[in-house]
Amino acid sequence: IELRLDSADGEVIGTLPIGFTGGWDNWVTKTTSISGVTGVHDLYMIFKGNPSEELFKFDYWKFEEKKDEHELVAINATIDRQKIDVDPKNNTANITVTAIYADGTSEDVTAQAEAVPEQEGIVNIKDGIVTGIGFGKTKINISYGGKTDSVYLEVKDLEAELTVKKITVDKNKVEMDPGGTASFKVTAEYYDGHTEDVTNKVTYYNLRPNVAEVSNGTITAKASGATTVVMSFKGELGDAVTTSMYITVSNLSAPMKFVIRTCNPVFEGPARVVYGDVIGYLDRGTDGGPDGAVTFTINVPNSGRYKMSVYNVVYGGASHKYVINGDTSNTIIYTYPSEPSGWKLSPFSQDINLNAGNNTIRISFNSGAAEVQYIELQYYSSDGTYTPITELSLNKSSVSLAKGEVDTLVATAGPADATDKEAIFVVEGSAVSLGEPVYNENDGTTSVQIKAEQPGTAVVKAYAGGFESSCIVTVTEPAEEGEYTIISEFDTDRLKANEMVNAVVTAKNNKSSITEVLVIVALYEDEKMINLSFISKEIPIGSSEKMWAGFKTPSTITDKHKVRVFVWDGKTVESSNGIPLSSVKELLP
């Protein structure tokens, strides 16, 4: 609780930490000191904590008059964690004890206070540090200078409670019009089975924010197109987990609103303005008179096809006749949806064609009773026809690497004529890292280089079009040190036409009598070598060198091309004995 003067963001005159009291029905009295205030003020109590949780119950408060004597009136004990584990990685909490004096001062007396757990075998306490030694709950009684306070602590297996198993989004695929908004929710499921709304906690990776903005549970459609949004969340323990959402924004313009009352309406029969903007009495004519109708004029910037929506209310079932620009041969009978009840914006049953500039729309009685207020029009642009993705796959479902090694994953989306096949790559786990993804517009594939960082297992996922594909990567320690340690990498993720490609080789001579090291980079077409480049360096035992060799690729690259890097003995290709110092590394298109 923050105590502030005169406003919610006013001067802080005191703070009161609130810990676990042992249960919602277990009331305790907590005390703090106040300083730096004189006169008459409004007092603001600011309750702070996790906004997604109930904080505490609050009963009463009172002031004690300040005295001149430096007399101890209370102690305030807090603990920074209410739950710990016996696992050494997560098994400690810290107690803080503050002495409160009658003269308004306070001091930290943690080192002098005595802390004793009521239950044995659950925690050890030394110098204010609580260490979990056995599962269970305990109350810790704290005393100093004849005053007492207490804190509560639970020791349990926290891994299942704090490690996220998966996250899900309630809308995997969303279709929107420009200017529209939609909401969504992201839920985390932990290994112990409990769930949490993490919509406002996830990290968002948006492939095309110009198409749609996504943040804190809200999507705002910006422009025609499609985007993949990946959401990532990590619990207090374990690795981050991910899920995705695919958003398509139609090729419709932002809505243009036309209030009928302000569009030069011409009424027939009983039709008229009922009140405000409400147009009603579009009823059947009586005594031979015309049916109720209203004709109004709208002005649009483009000629072509439009989507129309009508803001209406229906009394029972009802339909109206619509005539566009006086073309009675194409009279449209629109039956309004009866649900939901009340005023609603209903998309028209079919698109309409309009001219650039002024157009007339006539609405007249057909059946039942309905009232209208305005229409909304959205223009279909010539672009924006999308062929959706129906599948996504990776070139590998599992990979085994030694620490320091690299590999390339390629994501392929189908069908071949899908409009947008670019994928987002993410990694769940710390065993590997990802390079910068590369999207190939020619074949619609996305590739990424993965690098083994530390022993363990990680999952690399590709997301596109609402689909995902995964590759499990297992990283091991490098094999027992041989005569040479060789790491070969390319400076690009894939072989491309008319670009420089280089191999980067780091070679360390651990104990080999071969000190001349030759790096050969060769280009093959249909297994025939068509170009090569090489470099050689002398590497004494205990030394290492980094070497580059490469060339510019031809103007055309097909799936029959590949680049290989060899590390041999020798100074030149001709003088080498062809003794391999490492395995061959390949780069594919």
- What is the pLDDT at residue 471? 95
Distance of CA 333 to the CA centre of its chain: 45
**Do residues 255 and 377 touch, judged by C-beta distance below 8 A?**
yes
8-state DSSP, 411: E
8-state DSSP, 260: G
pLDDT digits (tens, 9 = 90+) for 173-214: 998 888 889 999 999 999 999 999 999 999 999 999 999 999
- What is the pLDDT at residue 480? 58
- Give the SS3 label for residue 256: strand
CB contact burial 258-269 (16+ within 10 A = b; e otherwise)? bebeebebebbb
Fold of 481-589: Immunoglobulin-like (2.60.40)
Distance of CA 201 to the CA centre of its chain: 8
- What is the pLDDT at residue 224? 84
- What is the pLDDT at residue 585? 87
pLDDT for residue 481 is more than 70: no
What tokens were used for 222?
Answer: 């910006």
Amino acid (1-letter code) at residue 569: D
- What is the pLDDT at residue 237? 87
Average pLDDT, stretch 436-448?
91
Q: Which residue has the higher pLDDT, 298 or 236?
A: 298
What tokens were used for 337?
Answer: 């949806």
Same fold, 256-379 and 387-479: no
Q: Which CATH architecture has domain 2-156?
A: Sandwich (2.60)
- What is the pLDDT at residue 382? 65
CB contact burial 484-523 (16+ within 10 A = b; e otherwise)? bbbbbbbebbbbbeeeebbbbbebbbeebebeebbbbbbb
For 160-249, the fitting CATH number among 2.40.30.110, 3.40.640.10, 3.90.1150.10, 2.60.40.1080 is 2.60.40.1080
Average pLDDT, stretch 315-338?
94
Q: Which residue has the higher pLDDT, 345 or 349?
A: 345
Split at pLDDT 50, 70, 90, the class of 385 is: low
Q: Which residue has the higher pLDDT, 401 or 131?
A: 131
Q: Give me the numbers of helices (H) and strands (E) for the chain, helices first please.
A: 1, 48
Split at pLDDT 50, 70, 90, the class of 98 is: very high
- What is the pLDDT at residue 582? 84
pLDDT digits (tens, 9 = 90+) for 15-43: 998 888 888 888 988 889 887 788 899 99
Fold of 256-379: Jelly Rolls (2.60.120)
**Do residues 470 and 398 touch, judged by C-beta distance below 8 A?**
no
pLDDT digits (tens, 9 = 90+) for 269-283: 999 999 999 999 999
Domain ranges of the chain: 2-156, 160-249, 256-379, 387-479, 481-589
- What is the pLDDT at residue 318? 94
* Surface-to-core class of residue 235, CB atoms within 10 Å of its CB (0-12 exposed, 13-18 middle, 19+ buried): buried
Average pLDDT, stretch 339-358?
92
For domain 387-479, give the CATH number: 2.60.40.10
pLDDT for residue 353 is more than 80: yes
8-state DSSP, 541: T
> Taking Cα atoms as reference points, which of 15, 122, 149 lies closest to residue 130?
122
- Give the SS3 label for residue 62: coil
Torsion, CA 471, CA 475, CA 480, CA 485, rounded to 10: 80
pLDDT digits (tens, 9 = 90+) for 208-252: 999 999 999 999 999 888 899 999 999 988 899 999 999 998 888
φ and ψ at residue 225, rounded to 5 degrees:
150, -165
Split at pLDDT 50, 70, 90, the class of 384 is: low
pLDDT for residue 54 is more than 80: yes
Q: Which residue has the higher pLDDT, 28 or 362?
A: 362
Q: Which residue has the higher pLDDT, 57 or 383?
A: 57
- Give the SS3 label for residue 90: coil
pLDDT, mean over the chain: 91
- What is the pLDDT at residue 479? 58
